[in-house]
Amino acid sequence: MNPGPDETATATRLRAQIAAQFGRSLHIRTLDTGSCAVCEQEIRLLSAPHYDLHRLGFFFTPAPRHADLLLVTGPMVRAFTLAARKAYEAMPGPKVVVATGACALGGVYRPDPFVHGTVDAVLPVDVWIPGCPPSPLALLNGLGVAVGRLAEKTPGLTFIAGGDRS
């Protein structure tokens, strides 16, 4: 069943409204699906003096009911699938899922009996942040993109030297 033009317009307006709200005050919950522990260390540094995510209106919360954004690391170990789904479903909508790090994006572990290999095999991902690990600056960039405050650079990057960028 496809949304009609009125519904699409409403959805777009709602999305903009949500982004505006999240852009002013966003509560983040973290979820480790099997990382090597380094992504978590970079995430912890977001609240450290050098980065201080609070000045941007971002906050960490351990309470899923309070959270707006789920920051997910790791290659989604299969034995963790149920816990991951429960963590996601415990968050009320509207919510955003951000897959962070090469493991979560499929770069380190291929799908096999132990791991799914990517977070989006189990959860609906809205934003992907590459890096191994993504530095706190890259994480801040990703959070800014997630709430619509920062424009994405990736579509414009060619990774060709001497091309449009770098």
Q: Tell which positions 31-60 bind other proteins, by CB under 8 A.
A: 31-45, 47-52, 55, 60
**Cα–Cα distance list, 95 to 27, 77, 80, 143 (Å):** 10, 23, 21, 13
Q: In this structure, what token pair is assigned to residue 92? A: 């009320």
CB of 25 to other proteins, least distance (A): 16
Mode of pairing for the β-strands spanning 26-32 and 58-60: parallel
Size of the residue set binding other proteins (CB under 8 A): 85
19 is a site residue for other proteins (CB under 8 A): no
CB of 76 to other proteins, least distance (A): 10
Nearer to other proteins, 14 or 82 (CB): 82
In degrees and rounded to multiples of 5, residue 16 shows phi and psi of: -65, -40
144 is a site residue for other proteins (CB under 8 A): yes
In degrees and rounded to multiples of 5, residue 15 shows phi and psi of: -60, -40
Which residues in the 85-104 window bind other proteins by CB under 8 A? 86-87, 102-103
Q: Is 62 helix (H, G, I), strand (E, B) or coil?
A: coil
Interacting residue with other proteins among 69, 123, 140, 147 (CB under 8 A) = 140
CB 76 within 8 A of CB 118: yes
Nearer to other proteins, 6 or 89 (CB): 89
164 is a site residue for other proteins (CB under 8 A): no
CB of 160 to other proteins, least distance (A): 6
The span from the CA of 152 to the CA of 142, in Å, is 9
